[in-house]
Amino acid sequence: MPQFSHRLKRQDNITTSDILTNIQDLRNKNLEDFSKKIFHNMEPDFLKKIKTGDFLVSGDNFGEGMDSEKAALALKNTGIKAVIAKSFDRNFFRDAFNAGLCVVECETTFIDDMDELELDLKHNRIKNLSKGINIEITPIHPKMIEFLDKGGVIEYFKNQKNF
């Protein structure tokens, strides 16, 4: 099944408030409720464009702000396979792996909206099939990949016998 990229119209400094439209109401909503409105204030039709397994592509400093764990969970709940950005807020980066959402750092200039991509964590690259190029990604530690494979840090430790 093809997996496509979806670029945000505004690339840099995407905050958790941009991701989670009604951030003030988070305590009163469940994950599915606020997953249905991600990026609603920035791009109201964003969720109509994506399919399970697609990639979200952004620029520098993705995920800055409060409630980064909820933002990562909301993105994961939409079926996005990975967020690809030039850089991430450190708290969002950690919370994404905790939640089981893959985040990949690389140069995103060569990825356009609706490019067909393959993510190869083993060989530290993204194959842009639409352009016929490989893009080197920042290597992800094997333990972090193991966390992703289990659905996140909490799920990983639930499966450990001595925990």
Encode pLDDT of 26-72 as tens digits.
555 666 776 888 898 888 889 998 899 999 999 999 999 887 888 99
Helix, strand, or coil here: 142? helix
Name the more confident of 106 and 9.
Answer: 106
Instruction: Delineate the domains of the chain, giving CATH numbers in brackets.
Output: 5-158 (3.20.19.10)
pLDDT at 24 exceeding the cut of 60: no
Assess whether pLDDT exceeds 80 at residue 156: yes
Contact (CB, 8 A) for 3 and 53: yes
Separation between Cα atoms, residue 45 and residue 23, nearest integer Å: 19
What's the pTM? 0.91
